[in-house]
Amino acid sequence: MGQLLEQINSPDDLKNLAVEQLVELSDEIRQFILGSVSRTGGHLASNLGAVELTLAMHYVFDFKADKLLWDVGHQCYTHKIITGRKDKFTRLRQADGISGFPNPDESEYDQFAVGHAGTSIATAIGMAIGQLKQKKKDKIIALIGDASIVNGASFEALNNLGLVKRQLLIVLNDNSMAIDATVGAVAKYFSRVRLSQTYEDLRKTTRNILEHTPVIGKSVEEAIERIKKSIRMVFPASQMFESLNVPYFGPVDGHDVESLVQLFDALGELEHPAILHVYTSKGKGFRPADSRPSKFHSTGPFKMNGDEVETQADTIRPSFTSIFGEHLTKLAEKDDKIVAITSAMCDGTGLMDFRKRFSDRFYDVGIAESAAVDIAAGLARSGLKPVVCIYSTFLQRSFDQIFQEVALQNLPVVFCLDRSGVVGSDGPTHHGLMDIGYLRMMPNMVLTAPANDVEMKLALEFALGADSPSPSEGLDSPVVIRYPKDLVPAKKLVPAACTRPFKLGKSVIVKKSKDSSVAIVSYGSVLAEALGAEDILAKEGIAVDVINARFAAPIDNKILSLLDDGKNIITIEDHSLSCGFGSAVLEAAAEKMERGKQLPTIRVLGAPRSLIGQDSRKAQLTRVGITADKIAKTAREMIDS
Ligand SMILES: Cc1ncc(C[n+]2csc(CCOP(=O)(O)OP(=O)(O)O)c2C)c(N)n1
């Protein structure tokens, strides 16, 4: 650890440094982040880019009282390092360690547990109004990236900035990147402005703002007008924000920490909302991340060799994501109606090859999940076969669009929900534990989940009608395919029953015994654990049935007829128990009970309705009880009672 960083255990320590020392401290922090993330994995490129910005904000403001609101929050490592958490970086994103995102449970310096884009400006507005009502003068700062500020929620918030009659500073951290290059009209506008800037222009703007600051605070409006006049001709980015009536400053160099300190000092005095537009470089200071920021947006541990990265050995098995991407590309070769849509997650959802191969049938709409769904609805209405590829957690943003424009119209949109289930190190903001719940209640929606690589392909073929006699027609209703952030199970865990084509609402029997009194009914990739439990019990001489449900909507009647056969049921799922697959079975069973039937027992295994902290995915599954051992134990308990 660098000499200066060693002395920094709180923002007060930072304030003891001379402003010139922040330059050296920035370098030390960059090295610290690089070293830590190379060992633990984490969000690298965005954090390397936001070091000076964060130091300057902390140098000027007092975030014990003042409020700093992070958008997404994946770029908050410098903030964590200087707010007393640097020693915890050895366990970054691990159990009993610190989260990779802001988290008020960890520190009084964090206001919200965030992880989804587009929330900082609106929450800042709320806090600013709250401060005003309580006659408090604490400063409110929202830090947001250029890809997140074009999110619909951000624009809704900007549209309401007029509600704030006091200070509120929005810092736009523009690195011209989302995870990938930013997309859309605003991104193009920003990049045109960026290209028109020289370093000297940025210096000039900084000087311009600062020259006018002595009057800020006394006559805010007048000062803003003067600044606007002096920079308007040169810097058209201001026009966009000015048209929304948001006073705009910049763009300025986001790595010039000394100037940033002066700017924050000055702009913090405004008694009015304003935007400071800052240019930074994603991945700054580490050549591999600087040249390939997408690859280092979020990374697993890696080995550094000087300024280079040693590549990791390939994993033993492919992931659900890669099987999905490969197979979708293959199906698209045969069916030119297939189009893919994603919202800023091309790589994460496995669409890189699809994009390369079918650039005219690939749409990245940026961080705009609701628009993605409605665009898909329009595509489906005009006869195409849209495949919406969005993580389970981010699809939550589109709840209403899924219902109104897709389910209500019964349009054949295929939703591919990557990162369904527990997601490991990203933790509670990113788990995909609610999708069955929020989708199952919608009429017309077909919910399916592949158990392994073979089923991943079959589920896609089913949803896209590739397995039907007239494949061009496909299914005539929306289909959801959910799968986890995981490798596919080993070949020996792919039973023959899983190789049969998917049929609407039909489960497959993997093991059946007339002597069994318990049936394990699994949904999705957790079939591997069900098979493990069956194996454990078989060795003890206990026979159980194993059913692969394949569908959570509609539920196969065959599952319910197990109850008629006197079998107890254990359902397992990588999802919240509230409103999940087990709930669907319980609801169907309740209908039977209403008709006066005495039924055997049903036990449901899945995630509790509580937050599951960052950890490995395997440990999280163990924590919620989705393991072969726990399933076997549950079966024994049922048999014994
Ligand atoms: C609603 C939502 N959709 C998608 C994501 C996934 N995501 C995380 S960071 C990121 C890119 C953010 O870009 P930007 O705000 O410009 O910040 P940068 O990483 O460039 O610093 C995306 C798309 C998310 N966090 N939230």
Q: pLDDT tens digits for 323-377?
A: 999 999 999 999 999 999 999 999 999 999 999 999 999 999 999 999 999 999 9
CA distance 175 to 213: 26
CB < 8 Å & 24+ apart, contacts of 212-218: 213/265, 213/266, 213/267, 213/269, 216/266, 216/267, 216/269, 216/270, 217/269, 217/270, 217/271
Residue 450 has a CB neighbour count (10 Å cut-off) of 27
CB 519 within 8 A of CB 567: yes
Place of tokens 């995870």: 179
Dihedral angle computed from the Cα positions of residues 316, 317, 318 and 320, in that order, rounded to the nearest 10 degrees: -140
pLDDT value at position 225? 66
For the segment 434-459, the average pLDDT, to the nearest whole number, is 98
Using the mean position of ligand 1's atoms as its centre, give its distance from the Cα of residue 203 in Å: 28
Residue among 28, 52, 106, 369 flagged as catalytic: 369
Spatial neighbors of 155 by CB under 8 A, at least 6 apart, are none
pLDDT above 90 (res 594) = no
Neighbouring-strand partners of residue 418: 391
pLDDT above 80 (res 536) = yes
Which tokens belong to 451? Answer: 């158990």
Dihedral angle computed from the Cα positions of residues 74, 190, 169 and 5, in that order, rounded to the nearest 10 degrees: 40
**What does the DSSP assignment read for 381-413?**
HTT-EEEEEEEHHHHGGGHHHIIIIIITTT--P
Spatial neighbors of 307 by CB under 8 A, at least 6 apart, are 286, 287, 288
- Name all residues whose Cβ lies below 6 A of ligand 1: 46, 72, 74-75, 115-117, 145-148, 173, 175, 177-179, 282, 344, 367, 369, 394, 397
Using the mean position of ligand 1's atoms as its centre, give its distance from the Cα of residue 426 in Å: 13
CA angle 354, 356, 361 (to 5 degrees): 60
Q: Which atom of ligand 1 is nearest to the CA of 174?
A: 16
When comparing pLDDT for 387 and 293, which is higher? 387
Residue among 282, 361, 419, 482 flagged as catalytic: 282
pLDDT above 80 (res 203) = yes
When comparing pLDDT for 182 and 256, which is higher? 256
Q: Which atom of ligand 1 is nearest to the CA of 345?
A: 23
- Active-site residue 292, yes or no? no
Q: How many residues does the chain have?
A: 641
Which residue type is seen at 91?
A: R
pLDDT value at position 233? 43
Which residue type is seen at 434?
A: M
CB 339 within 8 A of CB 362: yes
Phi and psi angles of residue 142, each rounded to the nearest 5 degrees, phi first: -115, 130
Using the mean position of ligand 1's atoms as its centre, give its distance from the Cα of residue 185 in Å: 17
Cα separations in angstroms, 473 against 325, 335, 412, 554:
22, 10, 10, 21
Residue among 397, 457, 485, 567 flagged as catalytic: 397
Closest C-alpha to 525, from 569, 570, 562, 482: 482
CA distance 31 to 413: 46
Using the mean position of ligand 1's atoms as its centre, give its distance from the Cα of residue 478 in Å: 27
- Active-site residue 369, yes or no? yes
Phi and psi angles of residue 481, each rounded to the nearest 5 degrees, phi first: -115, 115
Q: Which atom of ligand 1 is nearest to the CA of 280?
A: 21
Which protein residue has the closest C-alpha to ligand 1 atom 14? Answer: 145
Place of tokens 């990049």: 191
Considering the chain, what percentage of its residues have pLDDT values greater than 70? Answer: 94
234 confidence band (pLDDT: 50, 70, 90):
very low
- Active-site residue 397, yes or no? yes
Burial 521-546 (b: 16+ CB within 10 A, else e): bbbbbbbbbbbbbbebbeeeebebbb
pLDDT value at position 218? 56
543 confidence band (pLDDT: 50, 70, 90):
very high
Place of tokens 């915890």: 88
Cα separations in angstroms, 369 against 373, 384, 400, 429:
6, 19, 11, 16
pLDDT above 80 (res 632) = yes
Least confident of 99-113, 295-309, 344-358, 478-492: 295-309
Using the mean position of ligand 1's atoms as its centre, give its distance from the Cα of residue 74 in Å: 8
pLDDT above 60 (res 215) = no
558 confidence band (pLDDT: 50, 70, 90):
very high
What mean pLDDT value characterizes the chain? 93
- Global confidence as pTM: 0.94
User: What would the pLDDT profile of 60-119 be if each residue is shown by its tens digit?
Assistant: 999 999 999 999 999 999 999 999 999 999 999 999 999 999 999 999 999 999 999 999
Q: Which atom of ligand 1 is nearest to the CA of 50?
A: 21
pLDDT above 80 (res 314) = no
Using the mean position of ligand 1's atoms as its centre, give its distance from the Cα of residue 148 in Å: 6
List for the chain the helix, strand, coil content (%; round to 5).
45, 15, 40
596 confidence band (pLDDT: 50, 70, 90):
confident
pLDDT value at position 192? 84
User: What would the pLDDT profile of 493-534 be if each residue is shown by its tens digit?
Assistant: 999 999 999 999 999 999 999 899 999 999 999 999 999 999
Phi and psi angles of residue 529, each rounded to the nearest 5 degrees, phi first: -70, -35
Phi and psi angles of residue 446, each rounded to the nearest 5 degrees, phi first: -100, 125
210 confidence band (pLDDT: 50, 70, 90):
confident
Q: Which atom of ligand 1 is nearest to the CA of 49?
A: 21
Angle formed by the axes of helices 257-267 and 51-60, to 10°? 40
Q: Which atom of ligand 1 is nearest to the CA of 116?
A: 26
Using the mean position of ligand 1's atoms as its centre, give its distance from the Cα of residue 108 in Å: 24
Q: Pocket of ligand 1, candidates 72, 144, 255: which has the most ligand atoms within 8 Å of its Cβ, to mutate?
A: 72
Which protein residue has the closest C-alpha to ligand 1 atom 4? Answer: 367
The most confident of the ranges 207-216, 286-295, 595-604, 613-622 is: 613-622
